[in-house]
Structure 1
Amino acid sequence: MNVNAAEFKAKCLKLIDEVAATHQPLVITKRGKPVARIVPVEDEPSPPSLFGYMKGTGEIVGDIINVPSEPWSAETGDESDLYVPVVPKDSAP
């Protein structure tokens, strides 16, 4: 449907309601040339939920029940070489 700008100005709310009801776009013209188009809003699908969106993407590899009984380095004290004291540059010999 085409309507000139003066008519649109006079009947704006009615024409917008018509577009919403009929789902037909409305072209506004000025001096016979189209200047704007009013189209109905389409319902957008809701975004997927953040909870469970990665369901089924993981994979279990190996045995997660009977894990090897290897002691951790924190339990045995083997990690002492990982914690070397940091010496500031100005106090170096």
Structure 2
Amino acid sequence: MVRKEITHSIKASEFKAKCLALMDDVAISGETWVGTKNGRPIAELRPYSGGRIATPFGLHPALEIHGDVISPLGDDLWKAME
């Protein structure tokens, strides 16, 4: 199925005020927005076409987590650090 691309235009001043909401809208609708300045097209906001990041939380792929990083450290460790 080929998705028909719909393009809208928005003035830079309006884009500045609505940027985060427009990003959410683009992610949901798949539509493209063209930002204009003085009536001239300057930039496009379109859905991201790349793949998802394969690492947790966008961490560097070579990063390795060893041990429990969630549990509290405990009082003994804090005393040792004084």
2:40 aligned with 1:33: yes
Structure 2 gap ranges (5+)? 1-7, 54-82
TM-score by length of 2: 0.51
Structure 1 length-normalised TM: 0.45
Percentage of pairs with the same residue: 41
**How many residues are treated as equivalent by the alignment?**
46
Matching residue's letter, 2:39:
G
Matches within 5 A, 1:1-80: 1-44=8-51
Q: Give the residue type in structure 2 aligned to 1:29.
A: T
SS of 2:36's partner is strand
Change (3 A) 1:45 1:13: closer
Question: Structure 2 vs 1, CA of residues 14 and 45 (structure 1 numbering), >3 Å: closer, same or farther?
Answer: closer
Distance in 1, Cα, partners of 2:40 & 2:16: 16
Residue 44 of structure 1 deviates from its aligned partner by 2.8
Read off the aligned partner of 1:7 and give its amino acid letter: E
- Name 1:71's counterpart in structure 2: none
Relative to total residues, which structure has the larger strand share, 1 or 2?
2
The structure number with the bigger radius of gyration is 1
Q: Which structure ranks higher in relative contact order (CA pairs < 8 Å, sequence separation ≥ 6)?
A: 2
Letter in 1 for 2:14: E
